[in-house]
Amino acid sequence: MRLQLLVRVIALSAVAGLVAVACGGAKTPSGASASPTRGPTRGGSIVLGAEQWPECVNPITSCSSATWTWYSVLEQVLPYAMVLDLNGNFVASPLLTEAPTLDNGGITQNPFTITYHLNPNANWSDGTPITSSDFDFTWRAILNTTGAYTTTGYNQIKSIVTTDPKTVVMRFNKVFVDWPDLFGGVYQGLIEKAAFPKFANSAKPNLQNQMLDSIPFSGGPWILKSWTKDQAVFTRNDKWYGTASSARGGIPWLDQVTIVPRTDQPTEIQSLLTGEVDAIYPQPSDVSLLDQVKGTAGVTAKGTDGAYFEALWFNHDSAPLNDPMVREALMYAIDRQSVVNTIIKLNNPNAQVLNCGFVAFPNIGNWCKDVQPFSQFTYDPQKAMQILEADGYTCTGVPNSPCTKNGAPLTVQYSTVADNTRRTTTQQLIQAKAKAAGFQFSIKNYEAGVLFGDVGPHGKFTVADYATGGSVDPSDTSTLACENIPTSKNQFAGGNWNHWCDAQATSLMHQSDQELDPAARLKLFDQIYQLEAKDFVSLPLYVLPNVGAWRADKIGGPVDAYIPSNLGMFYNMNEWYLVHS
């Protein structure tokens, strides 16, 4: 097959019927200010509110597993090779002169190589050129840093040729179809070698203890001036090489952006309404954001379909979910439709129960068109108890008390983000409905940084409710392959927090990572999805809606452009500017 098919397309369009509300004035074009302007001028500063706050800012370790590490820091300072545009296409970032293809010689099939030609004007914020040596250093650091969150794809690179400073030749051991996600894509980037002189000559740089509270370089639109538990301060990178027409925009209009944690959502929204912060990108809660800001002059809000896969994630090594029959019964004990009807439709009236395989979306590509393996799991308390009784449980006390086995009640620990009211309300609803199926939940919630930085990687949960970002490419390898289970032997690196190991599924994942024919690849994914459902790997809930709100009386530009994207609303803040009345 022709290798041009490697460049894949997704749709991140807004759902029809969701409302963009311009409160306190006439409707204005998308992203425009509600106040008269003279157009953008350079200068000024704004403050943004972040609903979650990372434990550290290291782009390699488990700190990078938290989406808000990227939203609030990393995507503003790291250079990307390939990047997503607003239409969801993988395109060349300003770092590259063009995207590699078979026709331009940037891709070869046998052996499989990817060649990047770097923009001659692409420099780090210290004025030194971004070179092929930086790619080589980043690759080695990802492979050798203790506790690296993922090495998928990077472990398929055999060598990186650095003979020409502005030419990067990656030689792979075998075909790796998701190459655009390496050194860029959605949640990856490039590290400056010269910023770490201690490791400059090391063949195996270990950056585990670096970048805990600072990023000492920038190849993005912004420079991270400071980062603490209280705020992140960014200043304009005047050496940014992007242009207004490029995939990541030009030099920022603003002088400074400060991002502050507002992890309590009512406080976050109130901070926007009072003008303490100028924009927020909250996760949808158990109330409508659009209704909450309606009637406040100068505030605009928008809701769209999102690109995050919300699920109940099962830890297969944690009792009682190490028993597949208990996992099966739990699939029928969860009233997913009630969750969608009661909570999710507040911010997305068109929301439906998610039945795609992990991690595919009904609105992204063709990965969930033919097979929806989790549609068989509807709320059925009687069926759940039948499965449990066949597994040796006694359920005569249901619903007043849970099923028991050998005198012990069936209790499942259930965790989520403590201050996320959408998830805690979901938790309460699921907990109440599951009693009729013989399940009792023990609630143990955490701050986001703790859940994603410690509890998840170390397997300290049984069931956890959280979302994972979608991608142009739905490869399961980094999150569900056997070799990516975090253990003490690998310093708890790897994204398979489920601790699910199915040899057949892992083999199919590896095959899919090398299959260049989309139709053949889809067939491999469909087999993986069926195995996921057969072994009750976890339970999808819904596609997480995306909502954002901002002070249109203060900031202008395409403020709402990236609300639907898994790159997040703040991704293009270099294109925002102060409104002049």
The Cα 252–Cα 557 span in angstroms is 11
Domain containing residue 343: CATH number = 3.10.105.10
Please report whether residue 405 resides in a domain.
yes
Question: By residue range, what is the domain housing residue 539?
Answer: 306-544
Structural domain includes residue 514:
yes
Which residue reads 């390699």 in tokens? 60
Count CB-CB contacts under 10 A for residue 491. Answer: 16
* Residue 314 falls inside a structural domain: yes
pLDDT for 27 = 31
472 and 566 Cβ atoms separated by less than 8 Å: no
Instruction: Find out whether 230 and 261 touch, Cβ atoms under 8 Å.
Output: yes
> Can you give the pLDDT at residue 17?
28
In a domain, 537, yes or no: yes
Predicted pLDDT of residue 473:
67
Angle of CA points 94, 257, 142, to nearest 5°? 50
Hey, what amino acid is at 13? Answer: S
- CB proximity list for 265: less than 8 A, separation 6 or greater: 51, 282, 283, 285, 419, 420, 421
The residue assigned the tokens 């403590």 is: 418
Low-confidence ranges of the chain (pLDDT < 50): 1-37
Q: What was the pLDDT predicted at 241?
A: 98
Query: Is-contact 544 283, C-beta < 8 A?
Result: yes
**93: in domain:** no
Residue 41: Cβ within 10 Å count: 11
Query: How far, in Å, CA of 575 to CA of 581, rounded?
Result: 19
- Residues 219/125, Cβ–Cβ less than 8 Å: yes
**What are the tens digits of pLDDT across the range 146-166?**
999 989 899 999 999 999 999
Report the chain's C-alpha Rg in angstroms.
24
Domain count, the chain: 1
Q: Is residue 158 part of a domain?
A: no
The pTM of this model reads 0.72
Q: Are 293 and 21 in contact (CB under 8 A)?
A: yes
Residue 553 belongs to some domain of the structure: no
In-domain check, residue 243: no
Residue 255 CA to residue 222 CA, distance in Å, equals 10
Nearest Cα residue to 201 out of 135, 137, 129: 137
Strand 411-415 to 463-469 pairing: parallel
DSSP string of 181-228, one letter each residue? GTTSBSS-----GGG-GGGTT-SS---TTSSSS------SSEEEEEE-
The strand pairing partners of 236, in sequence order, are 222
